[in-house]
Structure 1
């Protein structure tokens, strides 16, 4: 119990509900503010980039039937914004950060609340509840709630968009950690026994690398009209939501249209410092040895 007699889970859930409400209200206010400004917009996937498209993109916070829980949907586009619109974007992103911080606290303190949060929060808003009916969108996708809206910190001369499909995360493992992961699979399975024998044949102190390929994503290269205070003239960022760019005249910067789908094969040359072997040492764990 808290000092006021309220159980911690009720307090955290009430706080999260309040932040979720504020997030939806601010997002609607952002769309209305941009519509009143009359700035231009462009969508990578849709011919019409209007206020309806922007609202759907920014409020796409649902799981679809069969969606991998680790995956998020992208809505790539460009939005020309004046100072007031940019201010509201900052406000929305601040609320998203507060939402993420509360979720992190709940996951740490009361993880059993997470399923209830995904199921209950949408029903606080009748319009969202109606949107769920018959669409296969039954639960909140929490990561799609708190991911930030990308924005440029200064006017941009041009934007170059390109698929990035060579990303991967690499986690170092000890031999002991790899052994524990293999034993957690099925130590009686023939393919696991083979890999355990392989692991036993290398020194205990040899570092290993567990590799996870990342889903293709869109990357935007921004070229500023003037150098920033720190001297930078360009910036690269991943864009899963419409990118807001400062534009006093309401026009978009010059931009390209990338291919509709990512390339089927790796397009970038391998890094010279790439030090992993080509073949997985422990295929079941995607673990590689260093050269």
Structure 2
């Protein structure tokens, strides 16, 4: 047996072990929540059963037809006691270990990543239910390793609001933009126009390809006392339940978000915006820098 297969065998065995540990930490946290039912606010849920947190934490699987870039979110605020907070930290540590290990497998054995993702569902305690509902079960990496947001200190109030102005910006060269255009219908008039525009640019110019991001929920936390670094507030993007220390056994004051995200930009443009206002290559969402 060669060293490479032996190394992969040990990595997959370690992945199995860490995944079992993750499920165990989730079970522990869910049991604590269900036993004590701490004060909870859930977005768009007038009522809830005590098992919803368990279901949210165990939701780590692709559903049939789901875009791999999309995730199912569970927006909530839980006023947790020390035991539940510690259990949530254990979940985050277990998630981080799996994330690091999968990154190692992807780097050392890239062809084995799909095998790693497909073997874990069979260790899931509710695999039969998942298979019946979705038709198949495959690990959703983002949903598997995304962290639970945990407030580091008691919070007096939480303001929740949609953030819909996010975007990712990738720097690309003129040559890369040309190749992307040529992969489209290069005989189409609108593509030829963009190719001519591109030909007028210096070959060394760097362009920006912009991808709008899906709206996300942002929580602004206002702490009861300043943190050690002097800060009195902190902003977090949340896709999972926000865990805050129970201050006198109750939730902090909450300002709930709108039911749906805004359809237009809600933030003013920065004065130091580095991109031109108008798109230069519409088919690629490519802008020039100012």
TM-score after normalising by structure 1: 0.92
Distance 1:48 1:133 in 2: 26
1:286 aligns with 2:285: yes
How many angstroms apart in 2 are the aligned matches of 1:231 and 1:50?
Answer: 39
Indicate the larger mover: 193-202 or 23-32.
Answer: 193-202
Aligned residue number for residue 11 of structure 1: 10
Alignment of 1:222-233 (within 5 A): 222-233=221-232
User: Distance between the aligned counterparts of 1:129 and 1:111, measured in 2?
Assistant: 29
Structural RMSD (CA):
2.1
The residue that corresponds to 1:121 in the other structure is 120
What residue in structure 2 maps to residue 270 of structure 1?
269
Q: Give the Cα separation in 1 of the matches to 2:170 and 2:130.
A: 40
Q: Deviations over 1:227-257 (max 9, x none)?
A: 1111100000001000000115331111022
Structure-2 residue corresponding to 1:52: 51
1:89 matched residue in structure 2:
88
Question: Any idea what the Cα deviations from partners look like across 1:63-94, whole Å, max 9, x if unmatched?
Answer: 12221111111100001111121111111101
More off after superposition, 206-215 vs 248-257: 248-257
Contact 2:37/2:50 (<8 A) preserved: no
User: How far off its partner does 1:158 sit?
Assistant: 0.3
Distance 1:33 1:17, change over 3 A: same
- Tell me the distance in 1 between the aligned counterparts of 2:61 and 2:271: 41
Q: CA deviation at 1:28?
A: 0.9
TM-score with structure 2 length normalisation? 0.92
Q: 2: distance between equivalents of 1:154 and 1:130?
A: 38
Distance in 2 (alpha carbons) for counterparts of 1:31 and 1:244: 13
Q: CA deviation at 1:269?
A: 1.5
Q: Cα–Cα, structure 1 residues 99 and 171, in superposed 2: closer, same or farther, change >3 Å?
A: same
Aligned mates of 2:289, 2:256 — CA distance in 1 = 38
Which runs of 5 or more residues in structure 2 are unaligned? Answer: none
> Secondary structure at 1:130's aligned position in 2?
helix
